């Protein structure tokens, strides 16, 4: 790319030109009729992406962590028992948030690179009565993908609320919220949704909204309280002005642009594209004799890849060499092994050409650091895999 580097981290990602153009328009009033219509369109388009025609969408200025905080603060009360299913850094974050609200948390944690089994989850649900279970669909720190469908079925079986952290999965991994009976699916704008950072996005089921309405204590978070935000969402969807806090006007205009792009592609087609590119990229990485962090392809995310450095290669030196080829990848995040691996984001508007650029930069960096590989090997494997489809 001329003039700037290709950003291939797990968020923020590369954004479509139409989205960036929408960001750059003159800022409108948050109660102007045309902006109210944009906001209402976003709420309706979210239901299509989430596959949740019955869900209640929320769009709030903030981060993915705010979306997590919003889910917990509105649904969980002090002394509630909550089961946290963790496959990395962000499972632990759920536990930290729950502790802030006085919940009794039980952490089911998988070894690094593995996923907690459905059998272990059901055993825990059988032995104890929980109000909710939290699931990290894709943990950005490890690249481990959890299948939420069987876990959501268990939650429904044991009458437990299911809260899915979809920050690194919504619009990149398969999600059928209503069909799978997921009560909360949350995300952030800067991942596969394809909008610059700054929006917390959340979809609540009818069951979740009922639990919130029937809670015994007040929500102990003023900004996140659905009591303040639900009337705003309802008003904007009815194309009426309302106010609680000033929305991120330009980001929401950009969100509409991106949601339109997603729905034009078709959410099922978009998921298949992510799966195709991720599978080809993993095979290319394997062709360089590099190992991914998830212990099998079955639990490897389609939105990012976490890759171990070769033992003989300094990680900082490798990423520096890659950056010199105008490609930016991310270092490790999981504290126990953060110096042992790097991460490549491949979500949103990512193309095969983007990943060829990553592989080319990676190969040059490895060769410059005297790692024994055949030049062009990973690109050949990647291209052959793409051409099969």
Distances (CA, A) of 70 to 196, 287, 355: 20, 43, 35
327-350 pLDDT, tens digit per residue, is 999 999 999 999 999 999 999 999
95-113 pLDDT, tens digit per residue, is 999 999 999 999 999 999 9
Of 245, 265, 285, at which residue does a domain stop?
265
Query: Does residue 119 fall inside a structural domain?
Result: yes
Is pLDDT above 90 for 85? Answer: yes
The reported pLDDT for the residue numbered 4 is 86
Query: Does residue 1 fall inside a structural domain?
Result: no
CA atoms within 13 A on the CB side of 51: 16
189-243 pLDDT, tens digit per residue, is 999 999 999 999 999 999 999 999 999 999 999 999 999 999 999 999 999 999 9
What is the domain-level CATH number for residue 141?
Answer: 3.40.640.10
Q: How many domains does the chain have?
A: 2
Whether residues 208 and 329 share a domain: the answer is no
Please state the φ and ψ torsions of residue 305, each to the nearest 5 degrees. -125, 135
Domain residues for the domain of 383 are: 6-11+266-387
Whether residues 198 and 293 share a domain: the answer is no
More confident residue, 56 or 312: 56
- How many other CB atoms are found less than 10 A from the CB of residue 193? 26
Whether residues 291 and 244 share a domain: the answer is no
Is pLDDT above 80 for 45? Answer: yes
What is the domain-level CATH number for residue 304?
Answer: 3.90.1150.10
Question: Token digits for 303?
Answer: 């939105």
Whether residues 183 and 51 share a domain: the answer is yes
Is pLDDT above 50 for 165? Answer: yes
The reported pLDDT for the residue numbered 16 is 97
The CA-based diameter of the chain, rounded to the nearest angstrom, is 64
Is pLDDT above 50 for 285? Answer: yes
Whether residues 133 and 161 share a domain: the answer is yes
Whether residues 66 and 192 share a domain: the answer is yes
């Amino acid at each position: 790319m001329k003039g700037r580097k290709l950003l291939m981290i797990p968020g923020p990602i590369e954004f479509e030109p139409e989205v960036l153009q929408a960001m750059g328009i003159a800022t409108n009033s948050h109660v102007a009729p045309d902006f109210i219509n944009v906001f209402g369109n976003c709420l309706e388009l979210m239901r299509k992406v989430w596959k949740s025609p019955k869900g209640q969408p929320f769009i709030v200025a903030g981060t993915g962590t705010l979306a997590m905080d919003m889910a917990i603060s509105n649904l969980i009360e002090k002394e509630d028992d909550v089961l946290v299913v963790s496959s990395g850094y962000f499972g632990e974050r759920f536990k930290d948030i729950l502790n802030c609200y006085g919940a009794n948390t039980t952490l089911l944690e998988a070894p690094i690179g593995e996923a907690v089994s459905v059998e272990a989850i059901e055993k825990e649900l059988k032995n104890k009565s929980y109000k909710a279970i939290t699931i990290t669909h894709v943990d950005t720190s490890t690249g481990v993908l959890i299948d939420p469908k069987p876990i959501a079925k268990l939650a429904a079986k044991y009458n437990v609320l299911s809260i899915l952290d979809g920050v690194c999965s919504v619009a990149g991994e398969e999600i059928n919220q209503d069909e799978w009976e997921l009560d909360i699916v949350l995300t952030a704008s800067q991942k596969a949704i394809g909008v610059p950072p700054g929006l917390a996005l959340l979809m609540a089921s009818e069951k979740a909204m009922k639990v919130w309405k029937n809670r015994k204590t007040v929500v102990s978070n003023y900004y996140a309280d659905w009591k303040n935000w639900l009337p705003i969402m309802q008003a904007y969807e009815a194309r009426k002005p309302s106010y609680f806090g000033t929305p991120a006007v330009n980001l929401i205009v950009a969100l509409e642009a991106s949601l339109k792009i997603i729905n034009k592609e078709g959410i099922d087609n978009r998921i298949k594209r992510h799966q195709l590119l991720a599978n080809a990229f993993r095979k290319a990485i394997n062709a360089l004799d590099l190992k991914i962090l998830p212990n099998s392809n079955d639990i490897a995310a389609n939105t990012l890849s976490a890759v171990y450095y070769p033992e003989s290669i300094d990680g900082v030196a490798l990423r520096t060499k890659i950056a010199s080829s105008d490609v930016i990848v991310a270092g490790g995040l999981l504290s126990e092994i953060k110096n042992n691996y790097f991460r490549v984001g491949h979500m949103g508007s990512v193309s095969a050409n983007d990943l060829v650029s990553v592989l080319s930069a990676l190969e040059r960096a490895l060769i410059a650091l005297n790692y024994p590989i055949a030049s062009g090997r990973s690109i050949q494997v990647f291209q052959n895999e793409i051409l099969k489809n």
